[in-house]
Chains A and B, each alone.
Chain A
Amino acid sequence: MAGLWQENPVLRLLLGMCPTLAVTAAVKPALTMGLSVIFVLVCSNIVVSLMRNLLKSHLRILMFTLTIATFVTIADLFLKAFVPDMSETLGPYIPLIIVNCIIICRAEACASKNGVFISVIDAVGMGLGFTITLCVLAGVRELLATGKIAEQVVMPQAFVPWAAMGLPVGAFITLGLILALVNQVTKKQA
């Protein structure tokens, strides 16, 4: 379960930055994104781990991406069918899970060397780490940009929404500051 903190994919390994920045304007899409990533990560880790002995090494990456692409298609169709609004908001970022480096990295570093059980645990840990980070980032941005969290008003009337936080600028700067905070905390622990 190292994915939650010591090897948190976003905060420590700097993997999967694109969706992290793109979908975190509000909590709900961030959560949906996180859950889809957990689903794809778990499924692809299971499959990769099952077929790890059959793979030729030079075809490895290709097989990984194909496996991932299949599960992403499933997730995408599922979202389109059951939560069409959310699918609309996330747009192309759901298919972009295919090239999310977290998933390929875990397939390569963990699932292709370990059994199914370990791979699933690893996938869940990494996925949760990713989802939690995403939600924290989205929470901060949504709060500052609109004064709401998950569409519930929490800030007093006098609060002036800080529109820039909802724009790309806000994403980059918030993530930068969160990373700085994490660096600071780790240094104190060490």
Chain B
Amino acid sequence: MDRVMVLLMGFISIMIINNLVLTKFLGICPFLGVSGRLDMAFGMGCAVTFVVTLSGTLTWLIDHLILRPYGLQVMQYVSFILVIAGAVQLVEMYVRKFFPSLYESFGIFLPLITTNCAILGLCLFVNLWDVDNLPEAVVLSVGAGLGFTLAICIMAGIRENLKLADVPACLRGAPITLITAGILTLAFMGFAGMVR
């Protein structure tokens, strides 16, 4: 029971309190780039959640089964990025073969995920926090992906409404988006301290 509790707390913590986008500044590029429309944002969120789960789990396994026993931590970054690029490629091929309509709607997002810092960031954090069992690593990965989806969807919802607002000319586009994101982080800070 304790174990389940720990996992649940970890999940909530990474999804809301330590949300990668809003408190760790990871994955800002797609967060700003793709958050213009709600459906696109949701598609991106799903793709990221999938890839982050896969690569978070794989990198944890590689790190603990191959790199650490042989003292090869120097190779960490190179192997992590290779795993992520590989996972993205795999997902792309799989989706194209079996769900062509979904592939159409993902479009260019899939290859872009390779350079999404949220994914590499999570893999690095999982190792930095010394997560020592597989279930925890998996739960953290899923939580991070869902947290990203949550943040990008909230942002897209706000931006859709922002189109109706009268924004001063020099603030249009990126500046107002950044300021909105800032206020959003303020809202999320309210959760801080809820769980360790």
Contacts and interface: CB of A to CB of B under 8 A. Distances in A.
Interface residues of A, number: 42
Contacts of A18: 25-29, 117, 121
Interface string B159-184: 00000000011111111111101110
Nearest to B33: A14
Interface residues on B, range: 35 or more
A69 interface: yes
Nearest to A180: B175
A187 interface: yes
Nearest to A12: B174
Contacts of A89: none
Nearest to A16: B29
B74 A73 contact: yes
Given A169-B182, A171-B182, A95 B27 contact: no
Contact of A172 (B29, B172, B182): B182
A22 B78 contact: no
A184 B172 CA distance: 11
B78 A179 contact: no
B175 to A, nearest CB: 4
Interface string A149-172: 000000000000000000111111
A172 B187 CA distance: 13
A104 B115 CA distance: 9
* Residue among A66, A77, A95, A168 with the highest chain B CB neighbour number at 10 A: A168
Contacts, number: 127
B74 A98 contact: no
Contacts of B111: 61
B114 interface: yes
A54 interface: no
A172 B114 contact: no
A182 B138 CA distance: 43
A107 B177 CA distance: 28
Contacts of B131: none
Contacts of A170: 182
Contact of B25 (A15, A21, A98, A99): A21
Interface of B: 22-29, 32-33, 74-78, 81-82, 85, 111, 114-117, 119-121, 124-125, 128, 168-179, 181-183, 185-186, 189
Given A73-B76, A95-B124, A183-B173, 8 more contacts: A17-B32, A18-B26, A69-B77, A92-B128, A101-B115, A169-B189, A172-B179, A180-B170
